[in-house]
Structure 1
Amino acid sequence: MVLRIIAGALAASAIIALSASLPAGPAAACNRMDGCIHESQIENYGMMHDGRMGAAMRNGRASIEAFRAFDATARQQRPPRPAASGPAGRRF
């Protein structure tokens, strides 16, 4: 019983130590006093003025239109569902 408690405590401390060493995602990528706000503002400004934002918007619209067209054709090709007749046709 004591060995299980010791093993559990060691495993928990190992998990905590390993999880503390993992990066916290995008927040861990920036190591500045004022954060990464200025970098993202400069990137957004650059995207607006060099055409990358417009290209991304056009690509997004094209993707949405392609999805809607695909969905419309899939709905037209789908066979109609049979109607349930009375309580015997229902499934709970």
Structure 2
Amino acid sequence: MNPALTAARVPAQAVPHRHPAGLLAPSEHQLLLLLAEGLPLDSIARRLGTSSRTLRRRIRVLCDRIGVRTPLQAAVWAARRGLI
């Protein structure tokens, strides 16, 4: 078998896993799940082992990335796409 042809073939399992919607990290998906539960931000921060300030920053970055303004809109966005 020709090594050049063998190298060009990429088995399906070698293709990097893309998160649903193609743009979310697993931690962002987890954050969406917690937001969708309707938990207070302090509770979410405790679950994630982070500060409230860091959580607010992560939520802002996530909302910017998906094009929404509020955590509630982020949860609705995810639900409409079947991510939560």
Same fold (TM over 0.5): no
Q: Which of the two has greater helix per residue? A: 1
Structure with greater Cα Rg:
1
Higher RCO structure (Cα 8 Å, ≥6 apart) = 2
